[in-house]
Each structure stands twice: as C-alpha cells, then as structure tokens.
Amino acid sequence: MGEVYQATDTKLGRQVAIKVLPDLVARDAERLARFDREARTLASLNHPNIAAIYGLEDAGGSKALVMELVEGPTLADRIALGAIPIDEALPIAKQIAEALEAAHEQGIIHRDLKPANIKVRSDGTVKVLDFGLAKAMEPTGALSSTGTTALVRVDRTGAETTQAEIQGSLFALRLSPAGTRVAAMKTGDGSRASDIWLYDLTSGTPTRFTSTGDAGWPLFSPDGTSVMFRRSGSAAGVYALAVNGSTTPQQRLIEDELGLVAASWSPDGKRLAYLEVVGGVRQIFVRPIGETTPDAGQPRQFSPSTFDQEDAAFSPDGRWIVYTSNESGAREVYVQAFPGPGEKHRISSNGGVNPAWSRNGRELFFFARPAPGAPTASMMAVEVSTDGDFKAGAPRVLFEGPYGTSIPLRSYDVTADGQFIMTRRQAPPDEPVTTLHVVLGWAEELKAKVPSGR
C-alpha cells in the first residue's frame, strides 16, 4: 500500500525504513484509515519478532511511518528458492507463532499474514510486517456482541451481588469519587464502535455518556464533575465532558498520535499519569494540570525504560505509583516512589497484571497472570505500608472467578469498603452439535499429495 524507503535517522545515527503514502493513495479515505490503523497497531506491540515503529510523521500533507529497518529476504523469496529444510523451517515457524501470540495477547489479529509480509534476517531472526489490515479483537474480559455482561459487586470472599445485566461488552470500569456511579467502555452492536456509559449503582440505571463511536478508557476527575476518556481515529486525543448533563461540548485536553491513554489522577488533582507509546513501547508520563509554574502542562517521563509499562496508578497518599512491566520477560507488578528517584519494589511473584490500591492505601490488589484461555482469574491481595519506606507482604489469593484482565489498564475498581466492581463474563449458550463429519484415509491421501523427500 505504501512506498518504503531506507533512510538515516540523523538524530540517533541509525538506519530506518520510511513507509510513505503516495499522493493518490493518501486521497483515499479507506487507505488512509488503514495507514493510521497500522501505526496505532504497531505502537501497541513490542516483540522481537514484530517490526517496531519509531514514529508517525505528517509533513506537507504527506504521512509516513518511521519503522525499524529489517534487512534480508521475505519468506516468499526464500520459498521461491525451493523447499526449506525442516531444521530451518521449524525456527521460522516458531518465531512467527510467537509474534502472533504477542499480537493476540494485545487483542490484535493480523489478517494479512503471508510469506511476503514476513522477513528473515541473515542471523535467522524473523520479523512480521504490515499490520495495515489488523483488526482488534474484543478485549480480554469483554464479551462477544452476542453475549451479555453482568456488572457485579464482589466482596473479599468472592460472593457476588449483581448490579445490572448489560447486553454486549463492558470493561474499563472506573468508580466516581463518591462511589455511586461507574463509568465504563461499552461495545456490543456487532461493530467495533465503542462509547462511554455511566451506571448508577443505587438504581442500576444506565446512561449513555458519549455517542461518537470511538470513545474508551474513562477516568473520573478528582471532584467527580467530569469524565476523561480517549477517542481514536481522526479525532484522537484525551477529552473531558461534564457529567451534569450540560450542553458544553467535549474538550480535547491532550492531542496524540500513538495511543495516549489517561491512567490515574494524583490525590490532589494536580497531576495526571498517562500512558504513551515511545520507541514502540508504552511508557508512563506525568503531566502537571492547572498549575501556573513555568513547567505547567509539561509532561515528565516517570521511569524511562525500554520495556512496556502499563496500569499506572497513584497511591492514595500520592507518594507512590504502582504499574506493570514486562522487563523480567513476563508482566509483573511494581511500585516505585513518586516523583522519584527511588528503589523499585516488585509486588507479584509469578506474574501479575491490573493492579489497584485500596482506598486507604494499606493494600494492593492485582490479578495473577492467567493461563491463555483460562476461564477464571485469581484476585490477589498484598498488605503494604507507605509510611516512610515502602514495605510489602506476600501476595495471597482472595478469590477466583470468570473476571477478565485487560490491557493497558485494568477493568475493575475498588470501593471504599474494600469490595470490587467488576464484570462477569457470560458467554452465549453453545449451539448444539447436529452433524458429525468423519474423514477416512486422510493420512494416506496426504502422503499421496506430498512428494517423497519433502
């Protein structure tokens, strides 16, 4: 779809690939949307077998992706030379599978996987390219559009109280400061459209909050008078909208190109922690809000890293930030002093995602890393002390259930009395099996179709 050039990054002294949309293609709205989708998809992925994106540039009306330069032939070129020996084919297949697994864990389906979109470097490293047709899967924990979601309150023993039954998918739940309402991202009309809804926990009444079809990841303001949320597409950015039914239009607070998501307010409401993609990995930034100092509004990177950082949340006293990182090779939960510098404390012991503080700051909660496709997840609790030096106890299981994890932020919240507002997966009933097809002699037929020695 685009023209690819080799270029030199003069700032960092490295060779890069630049994918440029030709003028004719750039005037095609569908192809332009596909180009933007490729940029956002690559920005959400960080894996050694997926070509990384360094930036999205727009100059003089022309758009270009700046990407990792991957030298070497495509898999199609290699296949054209003849049969690939098994000892060479297996490592290639393994790396392709690992790249796809990483994409699927982020909720992304490639949809255009073919030998021409796979490169094999001289050292044997495989790189999967061209995510322009990629499609987002339903986020982990969300239901298919044909199912329903139960909005539930779960106590520390795992006992549930249903607050509402919702047709479709519901996730990214956030409680209002008063604990009376929940803001959530809802899908479920058979498309990828998403909007923010508000749910009254007293009456169970739902209210549609946005109607743009591209809104997600809500976050109440510290005083509860407005909700921040992210919009995607041509209007990408972080917006705010009053919850009192005012006709004031949405206010765009932050413009972005590559997946900025508001994550957490500091307790005093003066700083906003958010996630932004830098060099192909998500990083935590903190931006002063509403101050009159010279650096007001200027973001600061919290703890620079070459690994993904997600799930950022300020502690109730504002002195610590909890987050997840894959720096150990798997997602784990960490706590680090704010504004830093300071020692990094690992909280989880065998994988952990989606951490949250108790309202009094004396506990941390997170999901133990679930096995792929596992029907249940374990909610863990850790006693912590934030007075003076940070101290944490050993993680323990509170309860297990069909509650989904999500990326890059959690899909549950914690009430003032230590209960959990969550969604319970309720898949539609299985269709009955009415026909069974039996294939006989398939092994002999396969042998006949494949020449000997291949």
Q: Is the pLDDT of residue 181 over 50?
A: yes
pLDDT band at 165 (very low <50, low <70, confident <90, very high): confident
Q: Where are the domains of the chain?
A: 1-137, 148-426
Beta pairing class for 363-368 and 237-242: unpaired
- CATH classification code of 1-137: 1.10.510.10
Arithmetic mean of pLDDT, 82-89: 89
pLDDT tens for each residue of 119-161:
998 888 999 988 755 454 444 443 334 467 888 999 999 999 9
Q: Measured over all CA atoms, what is the biggest interatomic distance in the chain, rounded to whole angstroms?
A: 78
Which residue type occupies 6?
Q
At 145 the pLDDT is 41
Whether 1-137 shares its CATH topology with 148-426 is answered no
pLDDT band at 435 (very low <50, low <70, confident <90, very high): low
Q: How far, in Å, CA of 393 to CA of 191, rounded?
A: 44
Which of 55, 37, 205, 15 lies closest to 131, judged by CA? 37
How distant is the alpha carbon of residue 87 from its chain centre? Answer: 35
At 51 the pLDDT is 86
Q: How far, in Å, CA of 436 to CA of 155, rounded?
A: 44
Q: Is the pLDDT of residue 347 over 50?
A: yes
Q: How far, in Å, CA of 308 to CA of 252, rounded?
A: 26
Both tokens of 405, joined, read 């994890």
The overall pTM is greater than 0.85: no
Beta pairing class for 62-68 and 14-20: antiparallel
CATH class of domain segment(s) 148-426? mainly beta
At 194 the pLDDT is 84
Q: How far, in Å, CA of 328 to CA of 332, rounded?
A: 8
Arithmetic mean of pLDDT, 108-114: 80
Which residue type occupies 184?
A
At 127 the pLDDT is 92
Q: How far, in Å, CA of 408 to CA of 324, rounded?
A: 9
